[in-house]
Amino acid sequence: MKSLSPLLLPCLLAVSAPALLAQEPVKITLKTLTAQMRFDLADLTVSPGAKVQLTFENPDDMPHNVVFCTPGTNVEELVLKMLEKPEEAMKNNFLPNDPKVWLKSRLLNPHEKQVIEFTAPEKAGSYPYVCTFPGHAASMKGTLRVLSEAPKLQDLQFALYHGDWKNLPDFSKLTPHRSGAVADNLVQLNFDDYKNQYGLVFTGKLNFPNDGEYTFYCASDDGCRILVDGERVLNADGIHPADLREGKKKIKKGLRDVRIEYFQAAGGAELYVGWRPENFDITALSKWQPNGWKLGVQQKKNEFVGLPLEPKDSPVIYRNFIAGAGNRGIAVGFPGGLNFAWSAESMNLALAWRGAFMDAARHWKNRGGGHQNPAGFDVVRPTDLVPPFAVLDSPETAWPTLAPEATPEGYAWKGYQLDKDGVPTFRYVWNGVEVEDRISAKGDFKTGGSLERKISIKGKLPAKAFLLLARNAKITPGPDGFLVQAEKLSLTGTNYENQFSMQTDGATVSGGNLVVPARNEIVVRYAWPALHPAHSLPQASQ
């Protein structure tokens, strides 16, 4: 391997935790994310009855709270019910008085924090938490999991072998250098002073609490594998740094034989083994744990936060792989927290959102691959990645679709130019017709705000040419244009409501599509509903 994994650093907290801090409360920090309408953690785990010290920080520019509810609570309904009595809700700083709530913070003003001490419920389960400030519950929520530690290894024995391997050998054919019992029943490496070229086999018993699916974890430098009753549940063979891996297997209840095989070639040497039965917390079976082991493998991959791009005085352009905008995405963020992404594949507006713009860490902290979601909230995708213009027999004709990552037939991408304010005008040619597409922002996301789009055409348009403005949506005409409720949007696993309003002259609804006959200039206004009026109230007094 060319690079050292950050996971090689020992997790100091975890090493010293059990003995020294038995009486200390478990410390958890939960933060709001600026202009993202999210908590930084959507998943917290504590043991039943644990003493917890929760530090709740609000670095955002809006007020937020955090309210913990009983298992099964529909948190969005909870907020709607509270708002049925708006005056009372406001008097209570939008903190619901509801039997489903068992713990709540204050309503924190921007840049405030609060430390809350509490005792976790005795009953294992999933306890939802949410910001109950109006309009926040859709995306600002998470789950507190109350989970017990799983059983640990019993009767653990080790056998130490010598050899120079690139992969795990067949230990059954080798004679151990020495063997013995492991007093603390924890998997560990330091039985001797050997730094290189050795192998270890651990055997012990583990109590599987029920019939079900079990997740095993390891992080090993170099290779390891885990077997239960002789069957492999996880394999991380070969020479590599200690990256966190997982393996799942259905196993029947009972006391079973567990075997862990490991070898060290040279250089760094680490071994972490953990497991999680259903309805239990991830539990370490080894002395050493890598950073982030408590989150498991899945969450670890989502830890991409770190290089926010913030439009300050003028628009910021970010051409990159943007989830929902294809491989030739061009994201544009405006200082007022209104943003969009244009696709130089479909030649069309791909996404619009409000709040924070983009986080460049995925692309700028590594080799540059992968698609990044918008950093903000209320992400909408009016038309999916389809060409903007088409010649149709009638507005009812189905709109042409596009193979993924394809540029539509008859379209040629020509680039863009910036005006004196830094606003880009995108240019492309459609069957000889020159098209300019300019999208600018008006207002501020906190007071609503809108994107103003002007499509200008030079050249002779073919007959029956249409521009598509919304697709596969429930479209309701209203006094200020159309209310569009498009299909729910999911980008790399995050779901968005995909609702917005749209105003343009001459548009018609046909099926689920909103189309407008093409003409030399088409102006479209995209807007989101204003944030709840409480956002513009004087900040809550405590």
Partner 1 sequence: MKAHTLLLSVLAGGLASASAQEAAEAEFYKITTFPTPPDAAIEVGSVDLLPDGRVALGTRRGEVWLASNAQTSTTVGVWNPTTMRFEADKAASPKDTIQYQRFAEGQHELLGLSWKDGWLYAVNRYEVLRMKDSTGAGKANLFETVSTPWGVSGDYHEYSFGSRFDKNGDLWVVSCLTGSFSSKTAFRGWAVRVQPDGKMVPTCGGLRSPGGIGFDADGEVYYTDNQGPWHGSCTLQHLVPGSFQGHPGGNQWYDLAPNMGPRPVEPNDQSRMVTERARIKELVPPAVYMVYGPGKIGNSSTAVVCDLSEGKFGPFQKQLFIPDQSHSNVSRVYLETVNGVKQGVVFPFLKGLRSGPIGARMGKDGKFFVGGSDRGWGAKGGQPFAFERVDWTGKVPFEVHEMHAKPDGFELTFTEPVDPATAADPASYSARAFTYIYQAKYGSPEVDDVFPKIEKIDVAKDGKSVRLKFDVLTKGHIHELHFEGIRSKSARPILHPVAYYTLNEIPAK
Residue from 58, 215, 286, 320 touching partner 1 (CB under 8 A): that is: 320
Token readout for 100 is: 């489903």
| CA–CA separation, 483 and 477 (whole Å) | 6
Only segment of 11-19, 126-134, 273-281, 325-333 that touches partner 1 (CB under 8 A) = 325-333
Q: How far is the CB of 405 from partner 1 (least distance, A)?
A: 6
Which element (helix H / strand E) includes 364? Answer: helix 361-364
Q: How far is the CB of 442 from partner 1 (least distance, A)?
A: 22
Torsion sign across C-alpha atoms 28, 34, 39, 41: negative
Whole-Å CA distances, 95 to 66, 89, 104, 446, 519: 9, 7, 8, 21, 51
We find the least distance from the C-beta atom of residue 170 to partner 1, in angstroms, to be 21
One of 124, 317, 386, 489 touching partner 1 (CB under 8 A): 317
Stretch that binds partner 1, among 52-60, 244-252, 311-319, 530-538 (CB under 8 A): 311-319
Beta strands in 334-418 (DSSP E): 338-343, 348-354, 358-359, 377-380, 389-391, 411-418
Span from 177-185, 209-217, 322-330, 506-514 in contact with partner 1 (CB under 8 A): 322-330
CB of 523 to partner 1, least distance (A): 23
Short-list 55, 185, 209, 43, CA closest to 128? 43
By CB under 8 A, residue 3 contacts partner 1: yes
Q: Which of residues 171-200 bind partner 1 (CB under 8 A)?
A: 196
Window of 39-47, 49-57, 121-129, 318-326 that interacts with partner 1 by CB under 8 A: 318-326
Q: Kindly state the smallest distance separating residue 317's Cβ from partner 1, in Å.
A: 3
* Biggest CA pair distance of the chain: 87
CA distance 314 to 335: 6
Report yes or no: 281 and 242 within 8 Å, Cβ to Cβ.
no
* Candidate ranges 324-332, 384-392, 466-474, 501-509; the one touching partner 1 (CB under 8 A): 324-332
- Report in angstroms how near the CB of residue 327 gets to partner 1 at its nearest: 5
Q: Which residue in the block uniquely carries the two structure tokens 């709530």?
A: 101
Of 127, 202, 263, 318, the residue at the interface with partner 1 (CB under 8 A) is: 318
Q: 254 vs 368, which CB is nearer to partner 1? A: 368
Work out how close the CB of 492 gets to partner 1 at its nearest, in angstroms, rounded to a whole number: 11
Q: Which of residues 341-380 bind partner 1 (CB under 8 A)?
A: 344, 360, 364-371
What is the rounded distance in angstroms from the CA atom of residue 272 to the CA atom of residue 157? Answer: 16
Single out the residue of 263, 277, 269, 221 nearest to residue 244, CA to CA. 221
The minimum distance between CB 272 and partner 1, in angstroms, equals 15
| Cβ closest to partner 1, residue 60 vs residue 384 | 384
| Three-state SS sequence of 7-52 | HHCECHHHHHHHHHCCCCCEEEEEEEECCCCEECCCEEEECCCCEE
Q: Which residue's entry shows tokens 């479909």?
A: 346
393 to 422: interface string for partner 1, x by CB under 8 A: ------------x-x-----xxxxxxxx--
Least distance CB 165 / partner 1 (angstroms): 11
1/115 with CB nearer partner 1: 1
Give the residue, chosen from 321, 452, 497, 535, that forms a contact with partner 1 under the rule CB under 8 A: 321
Nearest to partner 1 of 118, 321 (CB atom): 321
4 vs 21, beta carbon nearer partner 1: 4
What are residue 12's phi and psi, to 5 degrees?
-60, -40
CB of 435 to partner 1, least distance (A): 14
Of all helices (H) and strands (E), which one includes residue 76? helix 75-83
> Least CB distance from residue 87 to partner 1, whole Å?
47
**Which residues, numbered 216-275, are part of the site for partner 1 (CB under 8 A)?**
221-222, 239-241, 265-268
Pick from 40, 35, 36: nearest CA to 142: 40
Q: Please give the radius of gyration of the chain, using alpha carbons only, rounded to the nearest integer.
A: 28
Q: What stretch of H or E contains 142?
A: strand 141-146
- Comparing CA positions, the residue from 274, 260, 179 lying closest to residue 223 is 260
Kindly give, in sequence order, each residue whose CB lies less than 8 Å from that of residue 80, ignoring residues fewer than 6 positions away.
none
Contact range with partner 1 by CB under 8 A, out of 88-96, 167-175, 315-323, 449-457:
315-323
Q: Nearest Cα to 353, choosing from 472, 450, 238? A: 450
Q: How far is the CB of 261 from partner 1 (least distance, A)?
A: 18
Residue 294 within binding range of partner 1, rule CB under 8 A: no
Is the Cβ of residue 18 or residue 415 nearer to partner 1 in the bound state?
A: 415
Q: Which is nearer to partner 1, 50 or 361 (CB)?
A: 361
Q: Which of 100, 141, 276, 328 binds partner 1 (CB under 8 A)?
A: 328
CB of 541 to partner 1, least distance (A): 38
**What b/e sequence results for 515-528 when a residue is b if at least 16 CB atoms lie within 10 Å of its CB, and e otherwise?**
bbbbeeebebebbb
Q: Which residues bind partner 1 (CB under 8 A)?
A: 1-4, 196, 221-222, 239-241, 265-268, 316-321, 327-328, 330, 344, 360, 364-371, 405, 407, 413-420
